[in-house]
């Protein structure tokens, strides 16, 4: 399977590449689908999101890679999730990622549950997510992310174990901020193996979920 990656960043937030350069680099190393999901909160979503939507619209006819515009709602008060998810979808986000309670950042407690309850598509790097929250994610169809990103990946094993126990969907993304963060499919497979997934689980619980979610978002 060619790489599907639904969580990346550009210099529209804290990445280092123009959207067009990120798209080109991903295409060259063999990506099939790329989601651009720059960090956003109430202070910048009206600036960031229209630019992501526009570049994906303008470049899509000119590239082979399939592009999905979106945002990652980041370090927002849990009570703001519902309104910002609705705003993002109304204004062109085809994917909404919630910045989960990673163990390497001071994310507000309760963020995981709030993001899941607001029906984000993916809860990114959810850290030491509780079984209760993972069960809610399973019931609502919210995917939990394991990540290739340094730091955030420290809790991949816990996320995998909790998802398998509760039936929550799993996806794998890079959370790319710079060129070296992009990965090939074999590299993604190795990281998933390191998180405790079997080869069968990688095919049926990661790659199949990524394919299904990408197809749904591309409509």
Measured CA to CA, the distance from residue 70 to residue 151 in angstroms comes to 23
- pLDDT for 98 equals 99
Cβ burial 112-125 (10 Å sphere, 16+ → b, else e): bbbbbbbbbbbbbb
Domain that holds residue 119: 3-218
- Percent of the chain topping pLDDT 90: 100
Task: Please answer whether residues 31 and 5 qualify as being in contact, where contact means their C-beta atoms are separated by less than 8 angstroms.
Answer: yes
Strands ordered across the beta sheet of 95-99: 3-5, 31-40, 66-73, 95-99, 122-124, 143-147, 170-173
For residue 183, the model assigns a pLDDT of: 97
pLDDT tens across 36-87, in order? Answer: 999 999 999 999 999 999 999 999 999 999 999 999 999 999 999 999 999 9
Structure tokens at 68: 């999905």
Number of domains comprising the chain: 1
The sign of the dihedral angle between the CA atoms of 74, 79, 83, 89 is positive
Report pTM.
0.98
pLDDT one-digit tens code per residue, 21-43: 999 999 999 999 999 999 999 99
Considering the chain, what is the average pLDDT of its residues?
Answer: 98
DSSP state of 205: I
CA distances to 7, 44, 54, 102, 176 from 16, rounded to whole Å, are 15, 18, 19, 22, 10
What's the confidence (pLDDT) of residue 198? Answer: 96
Per residue in 110-148, pLDDT tens?
A: 999 999 999 999 999 999 999 999 999 999 999 999 999
- State residue 1's pLDDT score: 81
CATH code for the domain of 116: 3.20.20.140
CB 100 within 8 Å of CB 129: yes
User: Does position 97 have pLDDT exceeding 90, yes or no?
Assistant: yes
């Amino acid at each position: 399977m060619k790489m599907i990656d639904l969580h990346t960043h550009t210099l529209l937030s804290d990445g280092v590449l123009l959207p067009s350069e990120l798209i080109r680099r991903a295409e060259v190393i063999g990506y099939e689908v790329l989601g651009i999901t720059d960090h956003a909160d109430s202070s910048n979503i009206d600036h960031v999101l229209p630019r992501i939507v526009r570049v994906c619209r303008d470049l899509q006819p000119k590239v082979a890679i399939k592009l999905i515009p979106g945002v990652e709602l980041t370090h927002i008060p849990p009570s703001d999730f519902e309104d910002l998810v609705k705003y993002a979808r109304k204004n062109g986000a085809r994917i909404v990622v919630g910045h989960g309670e990673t163990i390497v950042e001071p994310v507000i407690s309760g963020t995981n549950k709030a993001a899941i309850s607001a029906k984000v598509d993916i809860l990114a790097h959810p850290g030491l997510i509780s079984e209760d929250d993972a069960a809610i994610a399973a019931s609502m169809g919210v995917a939990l992310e394991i990540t290739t990103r340094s730091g955030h990946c420290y809790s991949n094993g816990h996320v995998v174990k909790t998802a398998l126990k509760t039936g929550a969907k799993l996806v794998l993304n890079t959370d790319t901020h710079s060129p070296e963060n992009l990965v090939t499919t074999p590299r993604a497979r190795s990281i998933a193996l390191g998180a405790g997934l079997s080869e069968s689980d990688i095919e049926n619980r990661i790659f199949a979920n990524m394919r299904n979610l990408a197809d749904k978002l591309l409509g």
